[in-house]
């Protein structure tokens, strides 16, 4: 098993790396050229900037049983299709049981944004509790895959 992080603007990379080091799990951080990253532990793969180029590399580098960290529902759906596990930076697990509903909700939100002239607020500021929730969830996911 390895952990693959869709690392473009990912706020939990440091948590993933810390857990991966503890458990001696290989980790890939995948980003495009607009997000320069360095790591003393993980392999960093930088792809050309372009629509979904990092996303497709995440899927290309993954295989059955790997863990993917992404906030992109489309990446999560492709990962699940390859037999990988997927987790959101909030700690929510993507599953075959919930991914269709999540993709539908994303589609509906996009439609609402297109039809509205009101600008929606961005996500709220990340808290220490958010990081703790993600860490606990990632640890639980890794433990369940190692059984």
Domain boundaries, the chain: 2-119
Q: Say how many Å lie between the first and final Cα of the chain, rounded.
A: 12
Q: Are 30 and 54 in contact (CB under 8 A)?
A: yes
Model pLDDT, residue 124: 81
Return the pLDDT at 83: 97
| pTM, 2 dp | 0.88
List, in sequence order, every residue forming a beta bridge with 37; answer none if it has no partner. Answer: none
- Within the chain, strands assigned E span 2-6, 26-32, 43-47, 67-69, 85-87, 93-94
pLDDT attached to residue 62:
97
- 2-119 classified as CATH 3.40.30: no
Q: What is the pLDDT of residue 147?
A: 67
pLDDT tens for each residue of the chain, 147 residues long: 999 999 988 999 999 999 999 999 999 999 999 888 999 999 999 999 877 889 999 999 999 999 999 999 999 999 999 999 999 999 999 998 988 787 778 667 777 777 766 666 667 889 999 999 999 999 999 999 876
What is the phi-psi region of residue 116: left when phi exceeds 0, alpha when psi lies from -120 to 50, beta otherwise? beta
Per DSSP, the three-state class of 56 is: helix
- Output the pLDDT for position 120: 63
In this structure, how many other beta carbons lie within 10 angstroms of the beta carbon of residue 49?
Answer: 13
């Amino acid at each position: 098993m390895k952990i693959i992080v869709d690392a473009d603007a990912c706020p939990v990379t440091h948590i993933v790396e810390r857990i991966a080091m503890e458990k001696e799990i290989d980790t890939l951080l995948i980003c495009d050229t607009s997000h320069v990253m360095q790591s003393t532990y993980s392999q960093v793969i930088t792809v050309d900037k372009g629509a979904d180029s990092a996303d497709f590399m995440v899927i290309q580098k993954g295989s059955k049983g790997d863990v993917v960290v992404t906030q992109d529902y489309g990446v999560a759906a492709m990962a699940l299709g390859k037999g990988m596990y997927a987790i959101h930076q909030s700690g929510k697990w993507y599953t075959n049981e919930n991914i269709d509903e999540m993709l539908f909700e994303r589609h509906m939100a996009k439609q609402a944004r297109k039809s509205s002239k009101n600008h929606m607020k961005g996500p709220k500021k990340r808290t220490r509790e958010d990081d703790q929730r993600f860490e606990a969830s990632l640890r639980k996911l890794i433990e369940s895959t190692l059984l």
